[in-house]
Copies of this chain bind each other. A is one copy, B any other.
Amino acid sequence: MSEIRYDIVTGKIAVISTERGKRPHDFKKADVIKNSGVCPFCPGNEPMTPPTLVEFRGEDGMWTLRGFNNKFAAFKKDADAAKHGSELYRADDGYGVAEIIVESQYHDMTLGQMDSEGIENIMKALILRYRDIVKDEKIKYVQMFKNFGANGGASLEHGHWQIMGVSFVPEVLERELKGVERHEAETGRCPYCHIIDEEMKENARIVAENDRFIVICPYASQFAYESWILPKKHAKAFNEMDDDDIRSLSSLLKSLVKKYEDLFDNPPYNIVIHTVPHHDRRDFHWHVEILPRLTTFAGFELATGAYINPTPPEEAASILRLD
């Protein structure tokens, strides 16, 4: 029998349906990005990409991480953020920024293969770019994310993250912000703090934890083997992490991604960071979502907005659990 679960913050529906009884090996499938020719993200090919915006260097003087504008940007500053369209149809210019962070100098290195320090540098680079981007008050929200694998929407093999600063607060964030507001009004508590307490009590969906962060498979997981990393202490903004936070997060993220890579043989996935919109005064509890792309959205999901998930989060957590 399947179960319809409601996300406490957003109200989004996940249908937990185990009819097909999928275990990790059932999800393994070919996921190959076919890049031919020279990789623009490899050392030596910097002229193929826009100028450096952020970089870290190793002892040998070579860069170990490098950030720059996305050459194929969906959002640009040459737009004037003007509104146009007809009486019926409304449109704005695609004002904003789109940047790339190349994770390392190694073409084939996966996130799970990197050392924890390498991941710390990614987090630091994201924060540096974030702080610079939000100086522009026309940027209402900055989405930081990673696509991995062809079915994760990555078009280049070489490991990288993306940063998109946009002139609007996207609806998924707006729903989470409203959900926080509502739950706080009703119960006096942040729903994410409430979730963390409940998960620590139930201990049915915890994947890992350390002093500062907890990893859970969320109760209403829309994706099979979805997991969230949340700071245990209430905090609105990703970009306000201190060095210890960054160290704690990076060490968990490394182990978690390695576990996915081992279990599912380098599956496609997305990692997305939800943080409070910079100029928004509402409360929030920032978090990271790891969304494995093991199943394909089909007509039902696209038509209804409800997601059928073949793996109960309780089972996913027990399989993902880090020891």
Chain A residues within CB distance 8 Å of chain B: 1-6, 8, 11-13, 15-17, 19-20, 72-76, 78-79, 85-86, 88-94, 141, 143, 145-147, 150-154, 162, 164, 166-168, 170-173, 194-195, 198, 219-220, 270-274, 289, 291, 295-306, 308
Contact = CB atoms under 8 A, between A and B. Distances in A.
A166 B300 CA distance: 11
Contact of A89 (B219, B274, B308): B219
A75 B299 contact: no
B296 A150 contact: yes
A300 B143 contact: yes
Contact of A304 (B13, B154, B173, B297): B173
B298 A91 contact: no
Contacts of A173: 304
A72 B303 contact: no
B172 A305 contact: yes
Nearest to A295: B153
Nearest to A197: B88
A219 to B, nearest CB: 5
Nearest to A172: B305
B164 A76 contact: no
Interface centre among A6, A154, A271, A295 (most CB of B within 10 A): A6
Chain A's interface: helix, strand, loop or mixed, by majority? mixed
Given A74-B2, A94-B3, A291 B298 contact: no
A311 to B, nearest CB: 13
A184 B303 CA distance: 23
Which 4 residue pairs spanning A and B have beta carbons closest together? A153-B298, A2-B94, A145-B299, A170-B304
Contacts of A73: 2, 17, 19
Contacts of A162: 299-300
Nearest to A94: B2
B297 A271 contact: no
A175 B8 CA distance: 19
Nearest to A191: B88
24 contacts: A2-B94, A4-B91, A4-B92, A6-B89, A13-B168, A15-B75, A15-B94, A74-B300, A86-B198, A143-B303, A145-B298, A150-B296, A152-B298, A154-B298, A162-B299, A164-B300, A166-B306, A170-B303, A172-B304, A272-B299, A272-B302, A289-B303, A291-B299, A291-B302
